Amino acid sequence: MHRFFTAAAAFVATFALSAQPLRESVTWDNIKAHPAPLPVIGEIQTRPSVLDAPSLWSVGMETMDRDYAVFDNFSQYIGQTGVGYGRLQSGWAKTEQKKGKYDFAWLDAHVDGMIERGIRPWVCLCYGNPLYSPHGHDLNAKLFADGPVMDAWLRYVKATVKHYKGRVRLWEVWNEPDGRKNLDSYALYANLFVRTAKVIKEVDPEARVAAFGSCSPDREYIRLAMKEIEQAGGVPYMDCLTYHAYWPIPETIIPAVKQLRSDMDQYNPSIQLIQGETGCPAQLEYGHALKNLEWTEYSQAKWDLRQAMVHFSMGIPYSFFTMVDLDYGWMLQSFGLIRMNGNKNPVYLRPKFHAVQHVTSIFTPELSATDEVKASVSGNREFFCTGIRKDGKNIGCLLWLCGERPSDSLERTLLDVRIKGAEITDPVYVDLVSGYVHSLTFDRAAGTLGLKALPLWDAPVLIIDRAATDSLRWECEELSQ
């Protein structure tokens, strides 16, 4: 398998929406009607997903093992995202409803449907089965020790990996084992991981195995479990470590992730960190992550972009949660790229959907982050900057105002910016929310690029050389805004 999530090949396509028309998105129309106050010269040209093209990006397609979403209702849109991968949950309880009888038809439809649309599935093996125990087959299901339940679980894992050998190349062992009901389960998890990973590797030696799916990278849980995994000889079976990054202010996660990287280096520096599940709701939620905070579709799109670009700056693959709003029965969650109704049908594409397209189209294998590019910003404003590198040259940077949760405002603040360390001949301004590309006036002094009255806001903008990427189209005539 390619290095999991390694950024995507460039294929340009024009997409037609489904035969069932979606409603107009008022929020997206409003974003498009309020571009940055600069001349518009083009737009990001979005790209489809292409099977096995290396990609940094994944999208969540979880909970279909519990029927919180219906794949056929939204599958026609998944290839439009441009992601390389999609995360599924395996559903032991749904697959084995009679002891020893495995019916993979439901999961086949999802795995094969994703592959047909250019997306490689990765699968989280998680949750229990009421045939064998009352441990639970949902979020926060209790872990189990060695014994009849573990034996049945390992038989199920063996059958599942064998069935999907060649189609699924990355297996994740459990989802959020450190959830609120399992905070002291690290020894149980360590044993579960080692035993499960050994079975996966025995069935498919080419498969990659990810551990944890942890709620948060700053938890003591991972450190305690890793000691147990090492003692059990399980470190060689661990290719990746996944964690979930639900932090109200995206940039504040950076120290915790860097510490997690340092911790893992003590065991094996080649273990890859993957941000395996995170997203922002589109409204005030009373349950799940980021609850009891006021969100809108504007702040949602900004938050997801900031979190994605923070992880790009650290070189960490990223999965957007989630493709569609999920119907938990007691609530209709609003994290989706697509807004859904109570019948589990799409209503419209949220601004977040388009933001994901912009990220996957621009941030292809040629681009990487670098700290060699620096910026200074007037007005004593807190900002985030990371350089962009291509073909051995520093060709731009990402900039945004940070320090607070993203707002609902579409207004930008005009600030003077100087960029040092980037080789930019003809800079353009790329708005990752709207997708608009703008021309810039600039000056050069003492090896720096000066941009006066640059519109910045609490969402990422890309300052990049016009010739540095083929993801931009120049179809608009210059328009003064």
> Residue 11 — very low, low, confident or very high, per pLDDT cuts 50/70/90?
very low
Q: Output the pLDDT for position 472.
A: 75
What domains can be seen in the chain, in order of their start residue?
Answer: 26-37+46-366 (3.20.20.80), 368-473 (2.60.40.1180)
The mean pLDDT value of the chain amounts to 93
> Residue 478 — very low, low, confident or very high, per pLDDT cuts 50/70/90?
very low
Question: Would the pLDDT of 123 be above 50?
Answer: yes
What mean pLDDT do residues 10-31 have?
Answer: 67
What mean pLDDT do residues 355-364 have?
Answer: 96
Contacts (Cβ under 8 Å, ≥6 apart) of 187:
224, 225, 228
Type of residue found at 292: N
Q: Residue 216 and residue 247: Cα distance in Å, rounded?
A: 9
Contact 335, 75 (CB under 8 A): no
What mean pLDDT do residues 470-476 have?
Answer: 61
CA 372 to chain centre: 25
Q: Output the pLDDT for position 136.
A: 86
Between 338 and 466, where is the model more confident? 338
Question: Would the pLDDT of 18 be above 80?
Answer: no
How large is the angle between the packed helices 186-203 and 148-163, nearest 10 degrees?
A: 40
> Residue 469 — very low, low, confident or very high, per pLDDT cuts 50/70/90?
confident
How far is residue 171 from each of residues 53, 160, 198, 468, measured CA to CA in Å?
19, 10, 12, 36
How large is the angle between the packed helices 220-231 and 186-203, nearest 10 degrees?
A: 50
Per-residue pLDDT reduced to its tens digit, 254-305: 999 999 999 999 999 999 999 999 999 999 999 999 999 999 999 999 999 9
What mean pLDDT do residues 445-452 have?
Answer: 95
Q: Output the pLDDT for position 474.
A: 54
Question: Would the pLDDT of 162 be above 80?
Answer: yes
Contacts (Cβ under 8 Å, ≥6 apart) of 218:
256, 259, 260
How far is residue 419 from each of residues 105, 335, 422, 466, measured CA to CA in Å?
55, 35, 7, 16
Per-residue pLDDT reduced to its tens digit, 73-87: 999 999 999 999 999
Contact 139, 176 (CB under 8 A): yes
Q: Output the pLDDT for position 193.
A: 98
Choice among 79-88, 171-180, 404-413, 464-473 with the minimum mean pLDDT: 464-473
Token pair in block for residue 178: 């450190």
> Residue 17 — very low, low, confident or very high, per pLDDT cuts 50/70/90?
very low
| pLDDT over 90, % of the chain | 87
Q: Residue 453 and residue 244: Cα distance in Å, rounded?
A: 37
What mean pLDDT do residues 431-448 have?
Answer: 96
| pLDDT over 70, % of the chain | 94
Per-residue pLDDT reduced to its tens digit, 186-243: 999 999 999 999 999 999 999 999 999 999 777 899 999 999 999 999 999 999 999 9
Q: Output the pLDDT for position 366.
A: 86
Q: Output the pLDDT for position 20.
A: 65
What mean pLDDT do residues 144-153 have?
Answer: 97
Token pair in block for residue 422: 């980037």
Spell out the SS3 assignment of the chain.
Answer: CCCCCCCCCCCCCCCCCCCCCCCCCHHHHHHHCCCCCCCEEEEECCCCCCCCCCCCEEEECCCHHHCCCCHHHHHHHHHHHCCCEEEEECCHHHHCCECCECCCHHHHHHHHHHHHCCCEEEEEECCCCCCCCCCCCCCCCCCCCCCHHHHHHHHHHHHHHHHCECCECEEEECCCCCCCCCCCCHHHHHHHHHHHHHHHHHHCCCCEEEEEEECCCCCHHHHHHHHHHHHCCCHHHCCEEEEECCCCCHHHHHHHHHHHHHHHHCCCCCCEEEEEEECCCCCCCCCCCCCCCCCCHHHHHHHHHHHHHHHHHCCCCEEECCCECCECCCCECCCCCEEECCCCCEEEECHHHHHHHHHHHHCCCCEEEECCCEEEEHHHCCEEEEEEEECCEEEEEEEEECCCCCCCCCCCEEEEEEEECCCCCCEEEEECCCCEEEECCCEEECCEEEEEEEEEECECEEEEEHHHCCCEECCCCCECC
Question: Would the pLDDT of 403 be above 60?
Answer: yes
Length of the chain: 481
